[in-house]
Amino acid sequence: MIYFLDIMLIALTASLINNFVLYYFVGICPFVGVSRKVEMAFGMGCAVTFVISIAALISWTITTMVLIPGAPLSSFIAGFFLPEEAAGKIDLTVLSYIVYIFAIASSVQFVEMYVRKFFPLLYRSFGVFLPLITTNCAILFACLTIMSHIVGVDNPADAWDIGRSMTLAFFGGVGFTIAIVIMSGIREELEICDIPEPFQGAAITLIIGGILALAFMGFTGVDSGIRDTIMPAPTEQNLTMAPLQAEILAQSDF
């Protein structure tokens, strides 16, 4: 139950509350550049969601198997050269950026070849965007977020498992798609608007993005609200809080 709630909240947070584009500013380049037609924006969003899920799968596997201190694969290999004590402590997290970018670049290449071979129609709609996705910050950002929830935690039990990581990546991609499709819908309408000359193009897009970000800020606090409704705070805390609050109220009255 707690696990399911956790997954649900991660999905909600990644897609709406802390939207990748409108809250973390990752993936701004396609947001400004390609979001002219709704169909194209949707294709781009699907391509990003697809690649981001694959990249998250790869990077989660590499992080837990190779990079973190005491990871099974790295300590197994180091066991040949080092005494057992030292082999268990091998920490390769400093290599994480290089490993991730390599994983992303190769998975994009792989996805491109696979889609071209087996889904030619899809390739024709994705095709242009696929190479661009390598330099899309959203994908590296998802990998880094997953890493920070595996490497940075003090308690090993709190480290994210594959389910949480994939949820974050997939719904991050969904959030990207939502933002870019809304934006392209607005931009289709903008074509027939009378915009002052200096603001045409990127400038007006950014200002609209700001208004969209403002609208998405309305989701802030939804996650903690849901968490409190489903799992109310422990009752002992409520008991200790109640007299304290009464005391404060009493003091303020007199």
- Nearest-approach distance from CB 27 to other proteins, in angstroms: 8
**What Rg, from alpha-carbon coordinates, does the chain have?**
23
Q: Where are any strands of DSSP class E within 93-189? A: none
Q: Which residue number, 56 or 139, has a Cβ lying nearer to other proteins?
A: 139
Stretch binding other proteins (CB under 8 A), from 54-62, 67-75, 97-105, 228-236:
97-105
At residue 136, what are phi and psi to the nearest 5 degrees? Answer: -85, 120
214 contributes a contact to other proteins by CB under 8 A: yes
Residue type, 44: M
175 binds other proteins (CB under 8 A): no
Among 46, 82, 122, 137, binds other proteins (CB under 8 A): 137
How many of the other CB atoms lie within 10 Å of CB of 196? 8
DSSP code of 82?
A: S
Q: What is residue 145's three-state secondary structure?
A: helix
Comparing CB distances to other proteins, the nearer of 122 and 186 is 186
Considering only residues 30 through 59, tell me which ones interact with other proteins, judged by CB under 8 A: 32-33
**Backbone dihedral region for residue 117 (phi beyond 0: left; psi -120 to 50: alpha; all else: beta):** alpha
CB closer to other proteins out of 23 and 171: 23
Residue 65 binding other proteins, by CB under 8 A: no
Nearer to other proteins, 211 or 248 (CB): 211
Angle, helices 222-230/2-12, rounded to nearest 10 degrees: 160
Q: Quick check: helix, strand or coil at residue 220?
A: coil
Q: CB atoms < 10 A from the CB of 9, how many?
A: 18
Amino acid at site 145? T
Q: Give the range of 74-82, 115-123, 128-136, 226-234 binding other proteins by CB under 8 A.
A: 128-136
Binding to other proteins by residue 130, rule CB under 8 A? no
Q: Is the dihedral of CA 110, 111, 112, 116 positive or negative?
A: positive
> Min. distance of Cβ 55 from other proteins in angstroms?
12
Nearest one of 95, 56, 88, 94 to 72, comparing CA atoms: 88
- In one-letter notation, the amino acid at residue 126 is F
Among 3, 4, 5, 29, binds other proteins (CB under 8 A): 29
Name the DSSP letter for residue 194. Answer: -
- Which member of 151, 213, 222, 226 binds other proteins (CB under 8 A)? 213
Length of the chain: 254
Regarding 202 and contact with other proteins (CB under 8 A), the answer is yes
141 part of the interface to other proteins, by CB under 8 A:
yes
Mark the segment that binds other proteins (CB under 8 A) among 95-103, 113-121, 122-130, 233-241: 95-103
**CA 220 to chain CA centroid, nearest Å:** 16
Q: Is 194 in the site for other proteins (CB under 8 A)?
A: no
Q: Does 198 bind other proteins (CB under 8 A)?
A: yes
Residues at the contact surface with other proteins, assessed by CB under 8 A:
22-29, 32-33, 94-95, 97-98, 101-102, 105, 134-137, 139-141, 144-145, 148, 196-199, 202-207, 209-211, 213-214, 217
